[in-house]
Amino acid sequence: MNKKRSKKSEKQVCIILILAFLFISVVSAQNQTAIDKGYACLTTEVNSRISTITPEELSFSLLALSYNYSMLPLVRDELIARGQANECWPSGSCSLRNTALAVLALDNAGEDTTAAANWLSAANATPSGLEWFLQVDPDNATTCTLTYDGTPYSISVRDDKTLSGGAGSCLPLDPAGYWLQISSACQNREFSISCGYDFRTTLLYKLDSTIYVSDTTHSAPNGGTTQEKISILCFAESGACNYEGSAWAAYALQKTGRDTSAFIPYIIAFADSNRRIYSLHYRIC
């Protein structure tokens, strides 16, 4: 970000400055004056430039000023007018980020955001670059049966949790012998697992040298069955995963009560390579 800002750009920053205050749960007395000045600055800027500020600024402004009953309808109506049939923002060049911000702001203002949430949900794709593994963890050494495509395969789990035996071309043993690797051609398959003792199954995924454990573990008693299937999505623009858009869209959909669990592995795994999007700097006007 260029450290030299014009006076106009400094005023534009006022529009999003107030967002920082939204996430402060405890405000000390000495900061109250600065916050009041921030609200006053924001209100003045919105009133004077309502027709020229960007959809992003309108969304942040609506989030900040939803408490102000005289400002709320002004900002809300202008934001709605900038959208495309209440589905996406801005009209004519809809983007994940702008649409997600509009959903957050309008939902917070009590507006129906169903159409926009549907637009976000439909903009999904399957990310590439991850390796997937299946972990089978029985209480004791035993034999387990893994079934997919209607064919059962038998593997043995030793006391040290290493595996032996084969589970077909979709589930070869990983080199260390503790997991079954899910081949890239079989990542849309559903796998059924049954063991001779009480057991647990979970999915793991790897990006570069880092391994992540799924936050969902399934368990079953002796003779019972668990089901495992890879479920990972991103939000895409122009056919490619967009990390920042995915983060905003997942947050917006979660706030509106939608299930976003399929997007979490992508957001977690690719966070380190996208730290730059969090490098935001704010100036007080």
Q: What is the pLDDT of residues 124-168, one digit of tens each?
A: 999 988 999 999 999 999 999 999 999 999 999 999 999 998 799
Looking at the fold, whether 120 and 251 belong to one and the same domain comes out as yes
- Tell me which residue of 226, 248, 223, 224 sits closest to 235, measured CA to CA: 248
Q: What is the pLDDT of residues 78-113, one digit of tens each?
A: 999 999 999 999 999 999 999 999 999 999 999 999
Looking at the fold, whether 274 and 218 belong to one and the same domain comes out as no
Q: Is 285 a member of any domain?
A: no
Tell me what pLDDT residue 277 has: 63
The number of distinct structural domains making up the chain is 2
Residue 191 tokens, joined? 């796998």
Q: What is the mean pLDDT of residues 208-214?
A: 90
Looking at the fold, whether 81 and 146 belong to one and the same domain comes out as no
Asked if residue 221 has pLDDT above 70, the reply is yes
Looking at the fold, whether 158 and 249 belong to one and the same domain comes out as no
pLDDT-derived band at 209 (thresholds 50, 70, 90) equals: confident
Tell me what pLDDT residue 40 has: 86
Burial string for 18-31 (b: 16+ CB within 10 Å, else e) reads bbeeeeeeeeeeee
Looking at the fold, whether 87 and 59 belong to one and the same domain comes out as yes
Looking at the fold, whether 15 and 67 belong to one and the same domain comes out as yes
Structural domain ending residue among the three candidates 207, 229, 251: 229
Q: Is 284 a member of any domain?
A: no
Helix axes 96-108, 243-255, angle to 10 degrees: 20
Looking at the fold, whether 115 and 243 belong to one and the same domain comes out as yes
Q: Is 41 a member of any domain?
A: yes
The domain of 246 spans: 7-124+238-278
Q: Is 113 a member of any domain?
A: yes
Asked if residue 21 has pLDDT above 50, the reply is no
